Structure formats: structure tokens, C-alpha cells
Structure 1
């Protein structure tokens, strides 16, 4: 496999899973949200990433979530399943659920909490590559793993058979850019900011797009990339300005939330837009009324841009 094995590009959001207040999955809401995302023109969907609260799910729930997503999306756009876990064996177990649901690939971050060495990370991903059938997207997520994959390590991982892409959610811009230039011919790269810098890098040197969180602006997110691909930079900057405004309103540079938890912010925003964001599930708790008001105000302001 290589980067040309898959056709992933553009805006592929890591999406929420709506829960009821008692923690049960809102299956009807989940179907409604999936159909809305497809209709809004997303270029793919990432199910059970960080935004999807995979860490609070049982294997049985994961299986049901992957199956429901596959049935609802019905091959209209690519689906990538989040399979991050604490051990390589657990990742493979989850990957088999994703494969059974006929997804197009898996996303795997380094194991949370365990801060592995470079040699351990190579062995970790090697085991996964040897034991799964689907293409793999590496997820560099230093906020959640305490490991920021550098260009030398990513270059080694890029040589593993099943690895075809990277979602590089590092807050270290120098690391992002240097890694991009080191591996852009081997891996599809996601994580470009939707601003002048991101546009310049993608237009002049390649790069596939963004795996963002939540897609609360609907079609504005994929329209950034359509405008870029059409050469309409002014229009791309317009859509990107809206995305960047919400990011700066809700998140810090390291992707931590400025208040509450990122999952709760995304769900609140979806609810305010009349979509089934639902409730977060413990250990994540809902935003306070004051925090909800901040989200509401930012959504109103972004529409005035």
C-alpha cells in the first residue's frame, strides 16, 4: 500500500456521537447527523476519533457504531474508523470491527498515557501494520498522548506497509512543516490550517487537507477546499476565516479547550444549530449555561464574518 491506495482528501471531520442524558446512544440522532454531514458535502468521515469519545465506549458499542455508520453512509463518502487503544492487540481487535463494517481505513494514535520511545512506537505500528488489512492513518496527537512525532520518526513509520496517511494535530508549527516536507511523497498529509499558510503549502507543494473536529459549519468546511482546488483563493480565505475564527474562539494552540472540554463544545454547537449533538458521556460533562452562551455568541459572530 501507499498514499495512492486511498483517495482521502479535503475536509474529513472527526465527528460526534450523540448520547442521551443517561449515557445511552441516540441512534436516530446519529443517523440524522451522519446524513446531514454527507449532504453538506464532507469528503469523508472519521468515526470514533477523539471527538467521538471512543474512550467511554465498550467494544460492543464500537461495533454497533461502526455498523450503523456504514449502513447510513452507504458508500457515499469514505469512512475511517478510530482504533486508538492502549495495546497493539487492542488496536487490531478494533480494526477488525472497522473492517467488518466495510470502512475504508483506520486511524491510530500512539497509546494514551504510555509515553513510548521511538523504537517502541516503530514496533507498535509495525505490529499493527502486520495484523490489519485496512490502510492506516497515523494520528499525531501530543495533547492526548504526550508524544509529538517528529519528522525522523514519521519517516520511519511511512515505510511500514499499511501506513498511507497522517493526521498531524501538533501545535508545533515547525514540526508540522518539517514533517510535511520529509514525508509528503509517501503519505497523505492532513492538518493544514485553513489560512494563508495552509493555502500556500497545499497549493505549491501538495498535501491533502484537514481532519478537523465536528464540522459545525457544515458545507463551509469542504467549500474551503473546493475553492482552493478551483484556484479561487479569495473565496477559500473567506471560508477559512470562519473556520479559524471558531478554532481561536474555542481552543488553545495545543488544541485544548479554552473552557469545558472540546467534545462538549462541539456538541453544544451542534445542538444550538438544531442538530443532534446530544450530551457528552462521563468523564466529559456538559458545558455550564455561561459556557453555552459563549458558544452561542461565537456561532452568531462567525455568521457575520
Structure 2
């Protein structure tokens, strides 16, 4: 397998997992969220990634989530299952569920919390590669794993025969690392994580960048339309959309993609909920945003003219003239 074994491209978000006010998994809300994403033209979706709160789900809940996502989206877009775990055997068990429900691939970080060495990380992925049957997207996520995989290590991992892609989430705080990995490996695997600005436009047009694996898809089709505009050659529209997408990140998130006013999961759910979309609640240990955080989210949505009718609207929205 290599980059040509898959057709993953465009905007592929890691979506949230809705819980109700009592912390129970809300599968009906998940179905609604999937249908909204489909109607918005999103190019793909990651279930049970960082924003999916995989760490608080039981095995039965994991199965239910993957089943529902598959029932709603299989055959309509690329679907990838987050299969993170502390051991390769646990990753394999999670990947078996993904294969059972027809997912197109799996997303795997190094074991979180452990802070393994580069040699240990390579052996982890080597063992995962032996055990799973689906294509593998390697996820370099320093804020969550506390390791930043070097280009040399990623080059070794990408020699494994099931590795087809990298989600390299370093562009916000270490662009040199992102670009180093991109130009070293983009001819072998698909390197996701590009910024949604002029650099992202250039990487797409001039160097064949495939897209980005983001989070939440809270502005719906605006993310998909950013890439569609680039592919169509409408660069002015792509720039205008990119400014709107970047505003969410600059106002509510730090350069390393951690959230400014609470958890990332709580922030993305608040962004959905305040638009009348099925974000749902978080589950402990993660907490919903407090009133201060909610007000910051509300202010951001107002600037973008994304609040429902009847809410207070700004005098001028960012990217005025770009349809949402």
C-alpha cells in the first residue's frame, strides 16, 4: 500500500461524540450530526479521534458509534476510525471493529501518556502494521502524546506496507517540521494537516497536497468549499473562506491546537450547539465550557454570522460575500 492505494483528499474532520446531560452516549444526535456533515458536502470523516473522546468510551459504545457512522456515511464519503490505545494489540482489536463496519482506514497515534522513545514508537507501529488489515494513517499529535515524531522516524514508519497517510498536526506551532515531513514523504504517503491559507493553497496547486484532517467541521461546507475553490481555480474565494476558518482557530485555540477557554472537545461542541447543531455534551473527565468560554464561542460565531436567526448579529461578518 501507498498513497495511490487510497483516494482520501479534501477536508476530513475528526468529529465529536455527543453525550446527553447525564453523560450517556447519544446515538440519535450522532446520526443527526453525520447527516448534517453529509449534506454539507464534507469529503470524509474520522470517528473516535481526539475530538471523539475515544478515551471515555466502553468497547460496546465504541462498537455502537462505529456502527452508526457506517450506517449513515459508508459509501458516501471516506470514513476513518480512530483506533488509539496503549498497546498494538488493543489497536488491533479496535481496528477489527472498524473493518467489521466497513471503514476505509484507521488513525493511530503513538501510545498516549507513555512518552515512548523513537525506537519504541517504531516497534509499536511495526506491530500495528502486522496486526491490522486496513490502511493506516499515522497521527503525529504532540499535545496529546507529548512526543513529536521526527522526520527520520516518520520516514521509517512510512516504509511499513499498510501506512498510506500521515496526519501531521504541527503546522500551527512548528511549520518547519510540517514542511520538512511534507516534502520528504508526500510522494510516498498522503500528508494531511496543511494550513487553510495562502501556503495551503500553494501546497495544493504547486505540490499536490491532498488536504487536511481537521476537527469538528463546525462551519460545515465552508471547509469543503475551501478545497473545492482551490481545485476549481477560484483562489479569491478560497482565500476568503480560509480567513473565516482561520478566525475560529485564532480566536479559540492556541498555536498548538489546544483550546484557550476549556477543552478542545467542549469548545467544538459549544460551536455546534450554539448554531443549533447536535454537538451534545462532553463526558467526564472532560467538561462543557463555562459561561466565559461560551461567551467567547458566541462572539466568534457572531463575527462569522453563524448564529441562528434571532441571535445578535455583527455589523459586518468576516468574509462578507462568501456564502455559508
TM-score if structure 2 supplies the norm length?
0.93
Instruction: Return the structure number with greater relative CO, CA threshold 8 A, min gap 6.
Output: 1
3-state SS of the aligned residue for 2:164?
strand
Match of 1:251 in 2: 253
Structure 1 residue 74, shift from structure 2 partner? 3.4
* 2:44 equivalent in structure 1: 44
Question: Which residue among 234, 240, 246 is the counterpart of 2:236?
Answer: 234
Q: Superposed, which structure 2 residues align to 1:75-94 within 5 Å?
A: 75-94=75-94
- Which residue in the other structure is 2:102 paired with? 102
| Aligned match of 1:288 | 290
C-alpha distance in 2, partners of 1:18/1:215? 14
The one-character-per-residue Cα deviations of 1:100-140 (angstroms, maximum 9, x if unpaired) are 01100000001101111111111110111111110000000
Q: How many residues align?
A: 305
SS in 2 for 1:270: helix
For 1:152-301, list aligned pairs within 5 A.
152-170=152-170, 171-301=173-303
Where in structure 2 are there 5+ consecutive unaligned residues?
306-316, 319-324
- The match for 2:309 is none
CA distance in 2 between partners of 1:31 and 1:300 (Å): 27
Give the secondary structure class of the aligned counterpart of 1:166.
strand
Match of 2:133 in 1: 133
Partner Cα separation in structure 2 for residue 157 and residue 208 of structure 1: 20
**1:226-281 per-position Cα deviation (integer Å, ceiling 9, x unaligned):** 00011111110111111100001111011111111010011011011111111000
1:56 aligns with 2:56: yes
Distance 1:67 1:217 in 2: 25
Q: Residue 102 of structure 1: SS of its match in structure 2?
A: coil
Structure 1 gap ranges (5+): none
| Partner Cα separation in structure 1 for residue 65 and residue 278 of structure 2 | 15
Separation (CA, whole Å) in 1 of partners of 2:187 and 2:244: 30
Give the distance between the partners of 2:141 and 2:158, measured in 1 at CA. Answer: 17
Give the Cα–Cα distance (whole angstroms) in 1 for the partners of residues 293 and 102 of structure 2: 39
| Runs of 4+ more than 4 Å apart | none
The answer to whether the 8 A contact 2:107-2:137 is kept is yes
Give me the TM-score of the superposition, normalised by structure 1: 0.99
Deviations 1:139-173 (A, max 9, x none): 00000001111211111111100000011001311
